[in-house]
A and B are shown apart, each in its own frame.
Chain A
Amino acid sequence: MEPIVKHEGLVVCMNRVNVDTDQIIPKQFLKRIERDGFGEFLFFDWRYLPDGSPNPEFELNRPEARGATILLVDDNFGCGSSREHAVWALRDYGFRVILAPSFADIFYNNCFKNGLLPIRIPRELYKQLSESHARGEWRRMTVDLERQTVETDHGISFSFEIDPHKRHMLLHGLDDIGITLQYEADIAAYEASRRPYQFVYA
């Protein structure tokens, strides 16, 4: 997994609440058996008009959003289906960081498995950032996961909280399974301590 330590990039703001994973990656694209190539289908139904041309109204299609790697979005982002394809699509499109007042739990966990940093910010701060962004006061930000700080290119800066374990994994691009297998003895001991009927089903 590609680590993320410090990231500077263009910000696109989506002033929408409850963006569900059905919108992030509609189900017709879930039938692939690979992890890559989902970026072109990101936000498909919002991003393209019925004739297949880009919808000029959609946030990501505006000229000033071209090349954005940081997404600023309102409450409860990633709700609904557990599909990790949503995170794969965001990453494949080029996003590295998402800032929102809140994220749905499964989506939030999925981000950390794929080098995508979700940052929870207070709702008042979201409003301040989205409004000043809409007024064109700033366009880019620098996210420093090591220091847990964010700074916009017009000088607003703030810090953020993140679970230390998740931060560690992202900073070093670690594979969860490799780490867990270091606890093999603990897992085996746990299994030995459980009665067999709990485990056998056939």
Chain B
Amino acid sequence: MGRTLFEKVWDAHVVKELPDGQTLLYIDLHLVHEVTSPQAFAGLRFAGRKVRRPELTFATMDHNVPTVNPKDVRDAIARKQIETLEQNCREFGVQLAGLDSPFQGIVHVIGPELGLTMPGKTIVCGDSHTSTHGAFGALAFGIGTSEVEHVLATQCLWQSRPKTMRIQLNGSLQPGVTAKDVILGLIAKYGVNFGTGHVVEYAGTLIPQLSMEQRMTICNMSIEFGARAGMMAPDETTLAYVQGRRYAPKGADWDACVAEWRELRSDPDAVFDVDVVFDVSDLEPQVTWGTNPGQGVGISGVVPDPKDAKSEEEALAIRQALEYMDLKPGTKISEIPIQHVFIGSCTNARIEDLRLAASIVKGRRVADGVRAVVVPGSKQVKQQAEAEGLHEIFLEAGFEWREPGCSACLGMNPDIIPAGERCASTSNRNFEGRQGKGARTHLVSPAMAAAAAIAGHFVDVRELTSEGVTA
């Protein structure tokens, strides 16, 4: 019987299999950031252990970094955490893209752009959005701090074999509809835990039409429906993206890698535990109205009524969400006003995301009463955007143009949405308090966030005309 993409990558990394089903898996790349690593390094120090393969470990700082002036970390505890990472990297010999590095940025943005992320690798990081790297045909997943310590010490991880799921994304996207809408639409349809225990492979006719940035957006949010990882088979688009990057293989090594990577696809007779087909042709731009990423609807839709829920549990969940979000059933999504727009995060802060948003705001103005912020995913993204003049488009429209970091995705730094205010956000989580205590998050694509900034409320980006905003 044929093997799936996941099985091929898994099998190539088995160090030891125990009779009880536990597998010791070798890890090719360990990404590290300041929030989930200090206790892991402290554990090594306490036990007198070293980092086994520092050259397979790469660190940066992103969660705590202020985006107005990254070096002005006024929060003493955040500063301590950043300094601790600097000290740990020095002591244990780990390469760090620190605040002075031209490569610093969100860990899931810099991995791919530096060429650290490659097809066929096993990649872990103490961060759930590590699933992002699966877009390259890597097996990439988030781990806890104890596992971070374990990988630092052994370069391996004990895993039980997950189940497999294939999600066939078929069809073509309408103009103005993006990869973000695909993943939000998928989670809205199937729920926030339908992937639990599974490694998902995204397949179908849509994938070859997507850029690497779009693929990363989809894989990034695999964790939002509980999947252990999301993967896509590498193709010419993948190779073109990786080739020539800083740490990508060169010369004969490149050729050897490519030969190997071409085998990284599920065999035609491979069997998945679960098979799902999702047609994207009629998909609208999506907006979440609730407090988990599955509570979303198309832009032409309305806020749901708990009375229409399929179960008592769902009705309760809707009621709780609407109370927190201060929304009434039946309200048109396009009539929800917003006070904040955040374009950024490991989901949507790559160059293509910024190009898309800029194309919509160009020549327009941010609506009165709206504070709109663009936070590039990395120093390199920022530099590229400025070379293309995107920052001028944003600034002229009334956006703020910031330094790279996780920013308002999770409010661990000064970028916090005030209580009771509403944010159209390109990030990945609309949990209660995620962007700040009492903050109300609506997840959208970069195009929809840009359009909302102009209109002051949600608007179908497909209805924006050159004369201005309709609706």
Contact = CB atoms under 8 A, between A and B. Distances in A.
Interface of A: 17-18, 20, 22-23, 26-28, 30-35, 45, 74-76, 79-85, 87, 102, 104-106, 109-110, 113-114, 163-165, 168, 176-177, 180-181, 183, 186-187, 190-191, 194-195, 197-202
21 contacts: A17-B313, A20-B292, A20-B429, A22-B410, A23-B432, A34-B42, A79-B292, A82-B127, A105-B228, A110-B145, A168-B20, A176-B150, A177-B47, A177-B149, A177-B153, A177-B154, A180-B154, A186-B16, A187-B154, A200-B55, A202-B95
B126 A82 contact: yes
Contact of A176 (B81, B146, B412): B146
Given A30-B412, A177-B154, A113 B144 contact: yes
- Size bracket of the B interface: 35 or more
A20 B428 CA distance: 13
Contacts of B55: 199-202
A183 B22 CA distance: 13
Interchain residue pairs A-B with the least CB separation, the first 10: A113-B146, A84-B144, A110-B144, A33-B38, A197-B253, A82-B142, A201-B247, A31-B77, A84-B145, A82-B128
A110 B150 CA distance: 12
A106 B42 CA distance: 21
B24 A180 contact: yes
B262 interface: no
B395 interface: no
Given A33-B38, A83-B35, A106-B128, 7 more contacts: A27-B410, A30-B412, A31-B77, A75-B193, A110-B146, A165-B160, A177-B149
A187 B153 contact: no
Contacts of A87: 144
Given A76-B192, A82-B142, A186-B15, A30 B253 contact: no
A45 B432 contact: yes
B197 interface: yes
Contacts of A197: 249, 253, 256-257
A180 B35 CA distance: 25
B94 to A, nearest CB: 12
A65 B64 CA distance: 35
A127 B392 CA distance: 57
A104 B434 CA distance: 18
A106 B144 contact: yes
A114 B146 CA distance: 9
Interface string B408-438: 0011100000000000000001011110010
Contact of B197 (A31, A105, A191): A105
B248 to A, nearest CB: 9
Contacts of A79: 192-193, 226, 292
A22 B56 contact: no
B149 to A, nearest CB: 7
Given A164-B20, A180-B158, A195 B256 contact: yes
B429 A22 contact: yes
Contacts of B135: none
